[in-house]
Amino acid sequence: MRLRFKDKQEYVTYWENLVELEREAEKDFHLNEILSLSGKERQKKGRAILGLQGRYIGEIIGDFQVYRFFKEDMPDHQINVGDVVLVSRKHPLRDGIEGTVFEKGKHFITVVFSQILPSGKKWRIDLFVNDITFKRMSGTLHMFEKGYSFFPEDTVLGDNGYTVCEEEIQFFNESLNQFQREAVKKAVCSDKLFMIHGPPGTGKTTTLLEVIIQHVSKGDRVLATADSNTAVDNIVEGLVERGVNVVRIGHPARLKKELLDVSLDAVAESHPDYNEVRSIEKKIKKLKSLQESYKKPTAQRRRGLSYSDILKYAKSGKKVRGHRIETLKSMAEWIRLQKEIKKLSDRKRKIEDRIINDILNSAEVICATNSTAGSEFLSDYVFDVVFIDEASQSTEPSCLIPVIKGLKVVMAGDHKQLPPTVLNPDAKDLSFTMFERFMKIYPENTYMLKIQYRMNDIIKQFPSEEFYDGQLISDESVKDRKLSDITGKEGDAPITDDTPVVFIDTEGKFLEKQKKGSRSKYNPEEAKAVKSIVEKLKEIGVLTEDIGVITPYKDHEDYLKKIIPDVEVKTVDGFQGREKEVIVISLVRSNPEEEIGFLDDLRRLNVALTRAKRKVIIIGDSKTLSSNETYRKLIKFIKEKGTFVTVEEISLT
């Protein structure tokens, strides 16, 4: 992992190589799977849906075409709102059209396209890859190399931190605790760079919102970003609630429905000058309709004549190259109409550009994903402050996209939780983020939030000691949270009583399995035990929406979903940033070799342990897990502070 770079060339070469490796890995993954697997096999993996019927719904903001695809027996799939998909009639790589998922229901998927689809009775949808983010990363690296960075280059390279001061300020959010206030004061006063380290449940985004509003009140131009649309929407939601004039840039299909009103497209449509755009669109539509009455000058029909030749011969009334004069005149009229359409389209584009610039210039805060910060909308913009939330989940090249647009940068994140996902093992250094690198080389520019508002104090203790140097403090409002607070009664067994932390040892009785051709693991017997745990929780009155089941392995997640359909089941990665009243963690690994595989990435353990408010129940093979020192310490901690039982003792075998 590189901390410092001697110059811009070394920096750009290092990161560009990693970006290219990852780009190829992500692209190849989907392309190779489409090539190597049948549609049915890909559907079985949840990355394609076959035999869909389609129906045109209409247009939404920005002339996007909306189609709904549906079938009664919709299979389980991984396609979610905001995903880029290929929609095809027969083969995705031959006739596939790229679209973005807008809505998802039990029996349907709604997809937004930038064009009208050809007719077809049956459709196939494939999960695909969007290359634009990689291109923006690469483009930003080259801009940085050429000196187009408003943020100090030496700071990016690792040579120059900044003194952080404090100043007395008037807080807009009076309910901030002392650590949040301290972070706000330091972030506002810092000259160029500041990092807010927010462990689970400490109100990181709440603190960041206060810093943003402090800068807005000073009249600063602000850009707020994050790597994911969900994280950006959380910022937008918080700013809207606090009355800030915010504009969200992004594809309407990727935004929360509740936030569409502040999307750039929606704000543009409500602009007083947009009536002129509508008027031009009507004229263009009329001309296109008229154009259908004339012959389009295709290459075959023109027979080598240019557009100007056609216009000249049609005007003179002379035949040429075997063309009938009626054909020439028809093509000439088509060309004349096309010129009018182009002139109107150019005028429309200029008005739209003027409207967009007006909106962006008047916004107090512009919000976008890191990638969208590199779009043409913001190509000429410079910001007084750039804020990046969830920065510990963004690769360095992703963070660099917004960073070079700011005179000052404030980041928030937690490098003790999961890093960005990297597919290519040769590009694993991409998981070492700018946030973590800056924290290591500029510790004086960092401040950690310490009061957590999520977990019962005993649930908090182990992650605090193991990952945060014992510095986390439980707020009085949560430290004694118990299961019986939400059920009205305390159960009489480890699964249902008020003990906050429980470990259920499978004692090597439930061995892990692996599907052919899969790198993932699953454990059917352990999954059945998880189902029993969930049933016992529901019996004492815990609501299904208050229970979360977490596992490190995708194949185990899939197995669990089949047998526990009414409770939210996700991998650790899918649960980051989430919380539930009760969490059941199924660790899967159980083998004679006592190998725990990627469970040894202890950030996964940290995330899993810190999702629960009142109770966390861990099920796994203590012998296999104890091959790792941290899991050994966790089991020892639970024996001392919680309840340690075997599956036999509580009748789960």
DSSP letter for each residue of 369-411: ETTGGGSGGGTT--BSEEEEETGGGS-HHHHHHHHTTBSSEEE
Does residue 27 lie within any of the structural domains?
A: no
Of 449, 481, 506, which residue is a domain's last?
Answer: 449
Question: Collapsing DSSP states into helix, strand and coil, what is residue 413?
Answer: strand
Higher pLDDT, 489 or 622: 622
pLDDT band at 165 (very low <50, low <70, confident <90, very high): confident
Query: Quick check: 594 pLDDT over 80?
Result: yes
CB-based contact 508:590 (threshold 8 Å): yes
Are both 382 and 508 inside the same structural domain?
Answer: no
Q: Residue 516 has what pLDDT?
A: 86
Identify the CATH number of the domain in which residue 86 sits.
2.40.30.270
Read off the pLDDT of each residue in 357-378 and give the average, rounded to a whole number. 95
Q: Which of 20, 10, 18, 143 is nearest to 433 (CA)?
A: 18
> Does the pLDDT at position 507 exceed 80?
yes
d(CA 119, CA 481): 57
* pTM of the model as a whole: 0.85
Per-residue confidence (pLDDT) for residue 298, from 0 to 100? 81
Which residue do the tokens 């917004």 mark?
402
pLDDT of 45 higher than 70: yes
300 lies in some domain: yes
Is 651 among the domain residues? no
Asked whether residue 355 falls in the same domain as residue 338, the answer is yes
Pairing verdict, β 246-248 and 365-369: parallel
Q: What is the 3-state secondary structure (H, E, C) of 156-193?
A: HHCCCCCCCCCCCCCCCCCCCCHHHHHHHHHHHHCCCE
User: Residue 39's pLDDT band (boundaries 50, 70, 90)?
Assistant: very high
Q: Are residues 163 and 238 in the same domain?
A: yes
Tens digit of pLDDT for each residue in 283-318?
999 999 999 999 988 877 888 888 998 898 888 887
- According to the model, what pLDDT value does residue 130 have? 62
Band (pLDDT 50/70/90 cuts) for residue 549 is: very high
pLDDT surpasses 70 at 615: yes
Which of these ranges, 249-263, 269-283, 577-591, 634-648, has the smallest mean pLDDT?
Answer: 249-263
Q: Is the pLDDT of residue 203 over 70?
A: yes
pLDDT at 178 over 70: yes
Are β-strands 547-551 and 568-571 bridged in parallel, bridged antiparallel, or unpaired? parallel
Which of 25-29, 281-285, 388-392 bottoms out in mean pLDDT, i.e. has the lowest? 25-29
Classify residue 291 as exposed, middle or buried by CB count within 10 Å of its CB (0-12, 13-18, 19+). Answer: middle
Amino acid letter for position 470:
G
The yes-or-no verdict on residue 131 having pLDDT over 90 is no
Instruction: Round to whole Å and give the CA distance between 203 and 388.
Output: 15
- pLDDT over threshold 80, residue 368: yes
80 lies in the same domain as 96: yes
Whether the pLDDT of residue 192 is over 90: the answer is: yes
* Rg (the chain; Cα; Å): 29
Q: How high does pLDDT run on average in the chain?
A: 93
Q: Is 36's pLDDT higher than 90?
A: no
The last residue of a domain, from among 330, 359, 388: 359
Structure tokens at 558: 């899939």
Average pLDDT over residues 336-347: 94
Range of the domain at 120: 37-129
Asked if residue 241 belongs to a domain, the reply is: yes
Residue 61 has what pLDDT? 67
Predicted confidence at residue 428, as pLDDT, reads 94
Q: Are 99 and 85 found together in one domain?
A: yes
CATH for 506: 3.40.50.300
User: Are residues 57 and 183 located together in one domain of the fold?
Assistant: no
End position of a domain, from candidates 359, 392, 410: 359
Residue 284 tokens, joined: 């263009």
Rounded to whole angstroms, the Cα distance separating 618 from 629 reads 17
* 535, 592: one domain: yes
**Domain assignment of residue 150, yes or no:** yes
H-helix segments, 417-456: 434-441
Q: What angle do CA 388, 136, 578 make, to 5 degrees?
A: 40
Total domains in the chain come to: 4
Residue 636 has pLDDT above 70, yes or no: yes
Predicted confidence at residue 630, as pLDDT, reads: 97
Name the burial class of residue 307, with classes exposed (0-12), middle (13-18) and buried (19+) by CB atoms within 10 angstroms of its CB: middle
Q: Which of 42-51, 523-532, 546-555, 631-640 has the lowest mean pLDDT?
A: 42-51
pLDDT of residue 84: 82
Report pLDDT digits (tens) over 50-100.
999 999 988 776 678 899 999 989 998 888 777 789 999 988 988 899 998
pLDDT of residue 400: 98
Same domain for 125 and 218, yes or no, is: no
**pLDDT at position 519, please?**
86
Residue/partner pairs of 104-108 with CB below 8 Å, 24 or more apart: 104/79, 104/80, 106/74, 107/70, 107/71, 107/72, 107/74, 108/68, 108/69, 108/70, 108/74
Q: Residues 608-613: what's their mean pLDDT?
A: 98
- Residue 195 pLDDT exceeds 70: yes
**∠ CA 638-643-647, rounded to 5°:** 110
Identify the residue with better confidence: 58 or 539: 539
What is the average per-residue pLDDT within 189-193? 92
The pLDDT of 478-488, averaged and rounded, is 96
Q: Are residues 539 and 633 in the same domain?
A: yes
Same domain, 231 and 377: yes
Residues 164 and 225 in one domain: yes
**Does the pLDDT at position 173 exceed 90?**
yes
Is the pLDDT assigned to residue 133 strictly greater than 90? no
Most distant CA pair in the chain: distance in Å?
Answer: 100
Residue 10, domain member (yes or no):
no
- For residue 17 the two structure tokens come to 């190589």
Report yes or no on 251 lying in a domain: no
3 found inside a domain: no
Same-domain status, 377 and 518: no
- The percentage of residues in the chain with a pLDDT greater than 90, rounded to a whole number, is 75
DSSP letter, residue 74: P
